[in-house]
Amino acid sequence: MTAPAWRRAVAALALLSVDPAGLGGLALRARAGPVRDRLLEGFRPPLPLRRLHPAIGDEALFGGLDLAAALSVGRVVRRAGILDEPAALLLPMAERATPGLAARLAGALDERAHMLLALDEGAGPEEALAPALLDRLALQVDLDDVPFGETAPIPHVDFAEARARLPHVSSPQEAAADLVRVAARLGVWSLRAPLMALRAARAAAALGGRDEPSEADMVLAAELVLAPRATISPAEEAQEPEQPAPEPPEGEPEAEGGEREETAQLPEDVLLEAAKALLPADLLARLAMGRAARARAAGAGAGEKRKGARRGRPLPSRPGRIGAGPVDVPATLRAAAPWQRLRAKPEGARLAFRAEDVRLRRYEEQAERLLLFIVDASGSAAFSRLAEAKGAVELLLAEAYARRDQVALIAFRGTGAEVLLPPTRSLVRAKKSLAALPGGGGTPLASGLKAALALALSERGKGRSPALALLTDGRANITLAGEPGRPQAAADAEAMARALRAYGFPALVIDMGARPEPQLAALAKTMGAAWLALPRADSGRLAAAVSSALGA
């Protein structure tokens, strides 16, 4: 028996074969393996297939000057790019695509000449396609949990007849209104989503030989387009008592069979229920992890990207002046070549250069990463979760050491905070500091955040890229002045959270209390950090949560 997700994936490929450019493409979340291979074997797009790479450059996409050919023939010779002709683009490791590549592909999809099959191979919710690109792909399917035994070979089908019928399939106004209302109830605010859902329903109708989308076509569109974009899980609505139908006015004839004609209307509730059935149980947690991943500037396990002219990964050159950096000779030649016939050449010179032709080399390197752990060692935490927090931090310290990251540890208890472990790569020193971590006393949460801010700013000034992980139960009761008082302590903690957000440090807040603390969730929102409540997690789950959210 085939899995429902597999059937949806096969249906998505069929819809793409009918209306490839109109639907934009498919975001397929599936790791490399036999399941994905079997699906790709059945992918027979009506456009030429072009394979991309997440680090592909502009010259390969848009074409450029063929310098060798231009110099040999004495005129400009242009090299064609992948996007010059309509194509079906296949992008493996799509979650690693840079924002620049995502923007360029999104612009190409807006022209409705290409389609994209984006293969999302991310290991968790924090690794996903760029939102701008995902918004332009109508169809989304997740095959991560589908075993190979629940798949089936995809038979070859000729979609020429369905493509010919598609322009004649109507778009009922009632169907569009239903899709818009369902999108709003699912928290889908992009106007593209209901439009693409209607296109998917029309493609399904053309595939079935119908001139108008049926209820089954609309349900399929809601499952493939709207459900994966949901940001809220709509609550069950109270059923209103059915009102008796009004009697027809006297003298008005009834329809044949003694029944009044009813306006054909697609049931909005049917579409909503179909979409709700596909929503994951941990929808809110996944969305929080995704927001945390997009908020941080650094990639997984790496610091911030920095551009320069000396070292790192090569970037496209930029215009500049001689003396401002190393000159990119090939790029300078390419910039000057198209103008040679219009320029007067000095006597004896074969080429004429001007200042605006100069191109400078650029590189991009990643800053050294600092993982800064802020651990609650107060009495409220010490008696419940301090042992788990120590174990989680030790696991993360070992992982960070393997990647040569810097690690620091701040503990707050009593009336203040203390830097127990300054930034270091020494795993032995880190373990000794954790073993000596005391517990008990008040909860000076604001002091812990203040010490973290000071250390993070100091390390950023040294060229490092700090990321913060706060482990606490959220019950702040000691002010910045070291005096007891819950209201002032909460106000001080909120002020420090706003300061951390202003500096843009990526952060994660883990609620380690026995019960989730709403005040801590609000503090995380003020800090601009992801918030996770893990009341029964051991050290391994705590470490996994921090590692996923911060790319640690």
Q: Would you say 170 and 56 are in contact if contact means Cβ atoms under 8 Å apart? A: no
- Distance between CA atoms of 369 and 303, rounded to whole angstroms? 4
Quickly tell me which residue has 């590189």 as its tokens. Answer: 363
- Angle CA 187–541–394, to nearest 5: 130
- Distance between CA atoms of 371 and 302, rounded to whole angstroms? 10
- Distance between CA atoms of 509 and 520, rounded to whole angstroms? 8
How does DSSP classify residue 271? H
- Which of helix, strand or coil describes residue 239? coil
How does DSSP classify residue 223? I
Q: In what order do the strands lie in the sheet with 25-29?
A: 49-51, 88-91, 115-120, 25-29, 139-142
* Per-residue pLDDT, 87: 92
Displacement of CA 186 from its chain's centroid (Å):
19
Q: Residue 370's beta-bridge partner residues? A: 406, 466
Of the chain, the end-to-end C-alpha distance in Å amounts to 40
pLDDT (tens place) for every residue of the chain, 552 residues total:
788 899 999 999 999 999 998 999 999 988 888 889 999 988 888 889 999 988 888 888 988 877 667 766 667 778 889 999 999 999 998 888 888 899 999 999 998 889 999 998 875 555 678 888 989 999 999 898 888 889 999 988 889 999 999 999 998 888 888 889 888 888 888 889 999 999 999 999 999 999 999 989 999 998 899 888 888 876 544 344 445 555 555 554 444 444 433 334 446 777 767 666 666 554 444 544 444 444 443 334 444 555 544 445 677 788 887 767 788 888 888 888 888 888 877 776 777 878 888 888 876 655 577 888 888 887 755 555 567 766 777 777 777 666 667 778 888 888 888 888 888 776 677 677 767 666 677 889 999 999 999 999 988 877 778 888 888 877 788 899 888 888 899 899 999 999 999 888 888 888 877 777 888 888 988 998 888 877 666 667 777 776 666 654
Q: What is the 3-state secondary structure (H, E, C) of 370-426?
A: EEEEEEECCHHHHCCCHHHHHHHHHHHHHHHHHCCCEEEEEEEECCEEEEEEEEECC
Q: Where are the alpha helices (DSSP H) in 297-377?
A: 329-336
* Per-residue pLDDT, 233: 72
The values of phi and psi at residue 146, to 5°, are -90, 120
- The Cβ of residue 448 has, within 10 Å, a number of other Cβ atoms equal to 27
- Distance between CA atoms of 204 and 224, rounded to whole angstroms? 12
- Distance between CA atoms of 536 and 475, rounded to whole angstroms? 18
- Distance between CA atoms of 90 and 92, rounded to whole angstroms? 7
- Angle CA 100–106–109, to nearest 5: 145
- Distance between CA atoms of 443 and 465, rounded to whole angstroms? 28
Q: Would you say 396 and 365 are in contact if contact means Cβ atoms under 8 Å apart? A: no
* Per-residue pLDDT, 383: 53
* Per-residue pLDDT, 63: 86
Biggest alpha carbon–alpha carbon distance for the chain:
103
* Residue 177 half-sphere exposure toward CB, CA atoms < 13 A: 6
Strand 406-413 and strand 416-424: the pairing is: antiparallel
- Write the single-letter amino acid at 194: P
* Residue 229 half-sphere exposure toward CB, CA atoms < 13 A: 33
- The Cβ of residue 82 has, within 10 Å, a number of other Cβ atoms equal to 18
Give the burial class of 280: count Cβ atoms within 10 A of its Cβ; 0-12 exposed, 13-18 middle, 19 or more buried: middle
Q: What is the 3-state secondary structure (H, E, C) of 87-131?
A: CEEEECCHHHCCHHHHHHHHHHHHCCCCEEEEEECCCCCCCCCCH
- Which of helix, strand or coil describes residue 484? strand
- Write the single-letter amino acid at 326: P
How does DSSP classify residue 327? B
* Per-residue pLDDT, 247: 55
